[in-house]
Each structure stands twice: as C-alpha cells, then as structure tokens.
Amino acid sequence: MKLQRHGLVVALAAAGAILLAACGSDPNAGGSGAGATSSANSPAVDCNGKAGLTAEGSSAQKNAMDVFAQAYQAKCANSKIAYNPTGSGAGVKQFTAGLVDFGGSDSALGSAESGPAATRCQNNPAWNLPLVFGPVAIAYKVAGADSLTLDGETAAKIFNGRITTWNDPAIAALNSGVTLPAAPINVVFRSDDSGTTDNFQKYLKASSKGAWTQDAGKKFTGGVGSGAQGSAGVAQAIAATEGSIGYVELSFAQDNELGIAKIDSGAGAVELTDANVGKAIAGVTVTGQGNDLVLDLTKTYAEPPAGSYPLFLATYEIVCSKGYDAATATAVKSFLTVAATDGQANLSAAGYAPLPAEFQQKLLTAIQAIA
C-alpha cells in the first residue's frame, strides 16, 4: 500500500475521539495499530509530570509529532507538547543549550556534539532514540514525465552537476518509453543544516559507485542548484519551477503533488510504498551501545534487500539518560512511551513508516531507563 496523507484529519479526529472515550487518563490504556503495541501490552504512562513539554528540531518529523501530540493529549488530558520544526541542526543546538526538553535530529549526535550534550545532561550521556522512520522522496516536476526512475549513480551525477539536462542518455537509459525534455535540470536543496541532507548525501555516497565524490553532512555539498529553507521550502520551490528536482520527505512531496522517482538498486525500479520501505528498514542494525540506539544505515543504502526502497531516514529524539528534574523526566518518558505505542497507529496516513516491531521493544526499554 502506498503511503498516503489523504484522510489524515478525519482519521486523527476519529482516533482521538475513541481514545478520549475509552482511555481518559487511565495509565494502562492504549491504542493499537500497524507497528504499535496493543492496549493490553502498552507500558503504564504516568500523566503527573511536567504539563508542558518543549522540543525542537527535525522538520522531517513535524507531521509525525502532530500525530504523537494528539495521542499524548488523549492519554494525558492535561499534558501538551510544543514542537518547533526548525531543522536538525537547530534542534541539537537548542537541546544542548538546555532550551528544550529534547531535540529531534535526522542524524545521531556526532562526536563534536556528544560532549556538550552530556554537559547539558548534568554530565550524563545523551541518548539517540530512533522514533520516526521517514521515506525520502526524490521529488521532481517535469511536464510529461508521469514516471521517472533513477539509480544511485545517476542521482549523484544530477545532484553534483555532472548531468545537467533531462534528456541526458544516462537518464533516458533508465526510463525507456518516457519522453524527457531537452531542458535544464534545476536542482533544489536544503539551505539550512539538515539531517535529511545528511542522510540523502550518505545514500548518494553509498549507492553511486563513486559518482558522489563530495562529503556527506548536514550542509549540501553538491555545489549546484538553489537552496530553500526547510522541507516545506524545498517542496514549494520544486512545485514552483518546471524542470526541478530535489530531495524531501514523502509527506511534503505529496502535499505539493510532486512526482516521486522510483529507485533502481540493480534489480529493477522500486516504487516508494509502505511495504517496500519496510523491507529496507527490516535490515538495519543498531550500532550504538546499550540504550543509545544509533542505527547503521550505510549498509542498507549500499546493499538494500531486493525489492526494497532504500532511501529513508530515522529521526532520533535526543534525550538525557539522566539529569532531568523529576517532573520533566516523567513527562519525557510518558510522551515517548505514547509516541512509540499508541502514536504509531496513524503514521502511515501521515507519510511515515510505522516503527518496526524489532525496534519497538528496544526503544521502550531505553525510554523506561531515562532517569
């Protein structure tokens, strides 16, 4: 089934009404859905912590956070969360400065970020908890091209300026029967520090057979194109200019009615669907230690399972393992517990892949260990 946002408002309203009627603030109640635990198995939620949580960061998870916020308030009627989608770089900085309760980042903390984050946590480690899996679309607007297939090598050459026109032979070879114009390619990239950019460039580096010679990182390094602020800005810029292509989370591509390229990893074109993304996520391994759940996506990018769509990111919630005051620790744990269970039910409708079952228990174990 394709990931779709259509009907999200109705689905959320219905889900909220059911939860409010059935759960109230009962700590043992919970919803169920694809990838989420049933109410019988959901961990207890303590609704007596800090009433107003604050968080900031990844714009890629903004729509997921809206889903989680509604599930959280349905579970804990007097509790709210304010999430500011300013980008991964800003989220890490705000968390490290102690200005928000947790940060959202599409990349795990780097070595230069871990020390300041630990200082913010009263000299305790900060943990990277993967809560949201978001497919990244290579989105485009090309008149007459209702279908577009790219592989890692061709995509890399587009985004570093080695392929500059839509009818280039390399693109044509992957798109038999599709009429592509002899028009320039307009690349659009994220101008702000972005974990989406980091993951996209890691994908290009891993999958392009050496065609991507630039670095990865939260700044776009391709050297071509025009920048736009945030995921919404990139999608709007592509939609506004014929012949444009960029990388953006699925929900933003859908909202702007953009074309979404299929990816050929060597065994044929693969469409971006729930099932195809799930095949790729299932092969990812955890490389972090203990409850620091850092994921290794590079191998999946380079050698995805057959029939899988390999371009996705994991958004981490950056939290203190210890160091919160008691009320904040209680609220952070409660929100993340609801997000990892009840909150997973409506993620597919919002453009995300529900949390894989193999990660859910590890994630809940880490959440409960926050002190």
* Residue 251 labeled ligand binder: no
pLDDT at residue number 107: 87
pLDDT at residue number 214: 96
d(CA 93, CA 106): 14
Amino acid letter for position 106: D
- What domains can you pick out in the chain, each with its CATH number? 8-134+287-295+314-368 (3.40.190.10), 135-278 (3.40.190.10)
Q: How many residues does the chain have?
A: 371
* Residue 90 labeled ligand binder: no
Q: Which of 242, 247, 239 is nearest to 139 (CA)?
A: 247
Q: What is the overall mean pLDDT for the chain? A: 88
pLDDT at residue number 25: 34
Amino acid letter for position 89: G
DSSP string over 192-236: S--HHHHHHHHHHHHHSTT---S--SSS--S--SEEESHHHHHHH
- The angle formed by the CA atoms of residues 74, 251 and 12, to the nearest 5 degrees, is 20
d(CA 194, CA 87): 6
What is the SS3 assignment for 302? helix
Confidence of residue 23 (pLDDT cuts 50, 70, 90): very low
pLDDT at residue number 251: 85
Q: Quote the DSSP letter at residue 336.
A: H
pLDDT per position as a tens digit, 84-132:
999 889 999 999 999 999 999 988 999 999 999 999 999 999 999 999 9
* Residue 42 labeled ligand binder: no
Bridge partner residues of 319 (DSSP): 127
- How deeply is 322 buried, as exposed, middle or buried, from its count of CB atoms within 10 A (0-12, 13-18, 19+)? middle
Q: At a CB cut-off of 8 Å and minimum separation 6, what does 57 contact?
A: 84, 85, 86, 87, 88, 90, 91, 92, 94, 95, 103, 104, 105, 318
pLDDT at residue number 41: 56
Tell me the range of 92-96, 196-200, 282-286 where mean pLDDT is highest: 92-96
Residue 82 pLDDT > 80: yes
* Residue 196 labeled ligand binder: yes
* Residue 59 labeled ligand binder: yes
pLDDT per position as a tens digit, 34-72:
333 334 356 889 999 999 999 999 988 998 999 999 999
pLDDT at residue number 149: 98
Percent of the chain clearing pLDDT 90 (strictly above) = 71
**For residue 345, what are the CA distances in angstroms to 11, 23, 78?**
10, 15, 22
Q: At a CB cut-off of 8 Å and minimum separation 6, what does 192 contact?
A: 87, 89, 90, 229, 230
* Residue 195 labeled ligand binder: yes
Please state the rounded mean pLDDT for residues 275-288.
Answer: 85
Q: Label residues 268-278 b or e (16+ Cβ within 10 Å = b).
A: ebbebebebbb
pTM: 0.73
Q: Quote the DSSP letter at residue 335.
A: H
* Residue 194 labeled ligand binder: yes
* Residue 60 labeled ligand binder: yes
pLDDT per position as a tens digit, 212-262:
999 999 899 999 999 999 889 999 999 999 999 999 989 889 999 999 999
Question: What is the DSSP pairing of strand 102-105 with strand 312-320?
Answer: antiparallel
